[in-house]
A and B are shown apart, each in its own frame.
Chain A
């Protein structure tokens, strides 16, 4: 009998990271109806910055802080310089390609600066044990951050503005909401959450492609959960993490990607907008 508890705990930790990166995708999708394919690269840059700060200071927390700040700056720049010019275009494909281009550029820049060699990236706490402090930190952080994001959206004036700007930018403007600023804030918020996900996902080894698979599973989680539903996405991330850990342990690691595909096909054939997504088709 395989050690299901250990598999579940390992899966939960992976799932937390999928959930966090998925949440970043959802925030941006809700704000601008764009799936941000550059998300893993933005997070990667932040993780590498954290790595550099860690190396210089020998600590963990300053690096994390730098990563979060860098995430905010990168998110704002991306929205202002690359996404905003496309807003009036009404072309679904343009932002996809622009964010893909950004993904390539940022990954390449990371490779140029930090090389393709894997760099060891520390855990926040001791990583040993089935319920290691490091794993608990990852899971708790993600749950707390997700809760904070939900609270921000649901119960604060800023959250109301963000939602209004995302849902009906024209109307929101007429109500005194600075729509452009809200979209930027949405990207900033998402990039900060993404940077956190990057730092949490980086250990033990950081390399330019390390977040690619994390991103694929994060997107899978978001699609399963419903791209405009943060709660669904977070649940989707955790469930996917545990499920894939079981698949790897019980059936074989080569089946993990196929299993993710199977779950996705199953869910989408039953519910084309994910388990918790709203089926209100909104043409933008």
Chain B
């Protein structure tokens, strides 16, 4: 009863200190073994399974689940099965906070893995830091995840938009010198960070910058402006649906620029699927090869078309666990992410704790499916450090034109990535 009275009084006298002044709470890992038993480890994620971002991204967790099932069927990691809990946040930040609080406070997950989206995930980083929950392999190329001092629990995954744009810019400068460049970019950090990277390399060549709003599928005005600016090269900092819309709209205008697409929007399998019907139907002789051939794109994960050993493994897992889902780059993204996490679990050792998981990430020993190394160390929590550049040929196959390159997010040079990387056999995750 006393605490009750105390509570009522405290509420009525609410607040003496400022709402924004946060006391310096010592951030650090708490509840070391939450979610861990001898035979299982519970992890969680927030994904847009419904709502505006569901198209394109709802299949990531399917790929991830397939890998976890594969791992579990192989006996798990150190005898622990991975229990993967996917919460739908509908790409709504409010719901992201709610479902992440549920995962942490109620389900007591060991770690949050691959939470998707900048507007969404940025709202839970402070909470996860305060609760001491590892927050690894965030599914977004924003720069914010790489902040070891402020957000020691958080680690990135995909190459950030700036690094990647620097590499694409370098390719444009070298392969298409003197050409006028236009940019079509999503009006958020995808576009802003990407343009920052382009500006580091080819600022003077850019003649037009057109934002698009993901809620507005009509990009005709933007493509019209790009055409009028005389841009011969159009860099697309877009999600796949808008890459496809841009390509179709350009075709509608009879505008034929060289498209250069950042990795998030350059999923050739998805693009082919989206554009396939315009070849076959109703008099419009616009075949997929006609629309896509010549497109330049960036990637950092092994290509679905390649005979990379990782691709072979992913194809096996795909065929066994999720044959109904088309094997797109998006699915591969989820698979690579899950594989990387499983690898970190293995690296963390048999006596699993949150601190050991973080140490495993910072050890720099994770070498994964990606074509470039992770930046992970005590000083950096950035994910993949670079990308390769490919073109699409007239049979809609991808050909690497620039081997994997790495760079930093500042003014550092773009250099070739180390050529060695582990194969699945060398990682020997299970069995």
CB-based nearest B residue for A204: B248
Q: Is B220 an interface residue (CB 8 A)?
A: yes
Give residues 43-87 of B contacting A (CB, 8 Å). 49-52, 54-56, 58-59
Q: Does the CB pair A6–B245 fall under 8 Å? A: no
Q: Does the CB pair A7–B56 fall under 8 Å? A: no
Residues on A with C-beta less than 8 A from B16 are: none
Q: Does the CB pair A10–B221 fall under 8 Å? A: yes
A126 to B279, CA, bound (A): 10
Q: Which of B218, B220, B227, B282 contacts A122 (CB 8 A)?
A: B282
Q: Which of B212, B218, B276, B285 contacts A14 (CB 8 A)?
A: B218
A3 to B252, CA, bound (A): 14
A133 to B251, CA, bound (A): 14
Q: Is B280 an interface residue (CB 8 A)?
A: yes
Q: Does the CB pair A6–B220 fall under 8 Å? A: yes
Least Cβ distance of A25 to chain B in Å?
21
Residues on A with C-beta less than 8 A from B213 are: 253-254, 256
Give residues 219-246 of B contacting A (CB, 8 Å). 219-222, 224-225, 227-228, 241, 244-245
Kindly specify which of A75-83, A111-119, A181-189 makes contact with the partner chain.
A111-119
Give residues 173-219 of B contacting A (CB, 8 Å). 187, 211-213, 215-219
Q: Which of B51, B59, B215, B274 contacts A205 (CB 8 A)?
A: B274
Q: Is A101 an interface residue (CB 8 A)?
A: no
Q: Which of A14, A117, A134 contacts B55 (CB 8 A)?
A: A117
Residues on B with C-beta less than 8 A from A253 are: 187, 211-213, 216, 218-219, 221-222
Instruction: Kindly count the residue-residue contacts between A and B in the assembled complex, taking CB atoms under 8 Å apart.
Output: 131
Main secondary structure of the interface of A (DSSP, over half): loop
Least Cβ distance of B360 to chain A in Å?
34
Residues on B with C-beta less than 8 A from A6 are: 220, 224, 253
Q: Does the CB pair B228–A3 fall under 8 Å? A: yes
Q: Is A127 an interface residue (CB 8 A)?
A: yes
Q: Does the CB pair B274–A249 fall under 8 Å? A: no
Q: Does the CB pair A123–B282 fall under 8 Å? A: yes
Q: Does the CB pair A205–B241 fall under 8 Å? A: yes
Least Cβ distance of B322 to chain A in Å?
13
Residues on B with C-beta less than 8 A from A121 are: 277
Q: Is A124 an interface residue (CB 8 A)?
A: yes
Q: Which of B216, B252, B254 contacts A248 (CB 8 A)?
A: B216
Q: Is A99 an interface residue (CB 8 A)?
A: no
Q: Does the CB pair B218–A58 fall under 8 Å? A: no
A58 to B283, CA, bound (A): 12
Binary contact readout A191-211 vs B (1 if CB under 8 angstroms, 0 otherwise) = 000000000000011010110
Residues on B with C-beta less than 8 A from A7 are: 220-221, 224
Q: Is B27 an interface residue (CB 8 A)?
A: no
Q: Does the CB pair A249–B278 fall under 8 Å? A: no
Q: Does the CB pair B282–A125 fall under 8 Å? A: yes
Q: Does the CB pair A128–B254 fall under 8 Å? A: yes
Residues on A with C-beta less than 8 A from B273 are: 120
CB-based nearest B residue for A251: B221
Residues on B with C-beta less than 8 A from A118 are: 55-56, 241, 274
Least Cβ distance of B362 to chain A in Å?
36
Chain A interface extent, by class: 35 or more
Least Cβ distance of B55 to chain A in Å?
5
A3 to B254, CA, bound (A): 14
Q: Which of B50, B216, B227, B284 contacts A123 (CB 8 A)?
A: B284
Q: Is A213 an interface residue (CB 8 A)?
A: yes
Residues on A with C-beta less than 8 A from B253 are: 6, 130
Q: Is A129 an interface residue (CB 8 A)?
A: yes
Q: Does the CB pair B221–A204 fall under 8 Å? A: no
CB-based nearest A residue for B219: A253
Q: Does the CB pair B215–A54 fall under 8 Å? A: no
Residues on A with C-beta less than 8 A from B55 are: 116-118, 207
CB-based nearest B residue for A120: B277
A130 to B227, CA, bound (A): 13
Q: Does the CB pair A126–B283 fall under 8 Å? A: yes
Q: Is A245 an interface residue (CB 8 A)?
A: yes
Given contacts A115-B58, A129-B252, contact A122 B217 (CB under 8 A): no
Contacts from A to B (Cβ < 8 Å): 2-3, 6-7, 10, 14, 54, 58-60, 111, 115-118, 120-130, 132-134, 204-205, 207, 209-210, 213, 245, 248-250, 252-254, 256-257
What are 19 A-B contacts with C-beta separation under 8 Å? A7-B224, A116-B54, A117-B55, A117-B56, A117-B59, A120-B274, A121-B277, A123-B278, A123-B284, A127-B251, A127-B286, A128-B254, A129-B252, A205-B244, A210-B217, A213-B215, A213-B217, A252-B211, A253-B213
Contacts from B to A (Cβ < 8 Å): 49-52, 54-56, 58-59, 187, 211-213, 215-222, 224-225, 227-228, 241, 244-245, 248, 251-254, 273-278, 280-286
User: 15 new A-B pairs (CB below 8 Å) besides A127-B278, A248-B221, A249-B221?
Assistant: A2-B225, A3-B228, A6-B253, A10-B218, A54-B277, A111-B50, A126-B284, A129-B252, A133-B283, A205-B217, A205-B245, A207-B54, A209-B52, A213-B217, A256-B213
Q: Which 4 A-B pairs have the closest CB atoms?
A: A249-B221, A116-B54, A122-B281, A10-B220
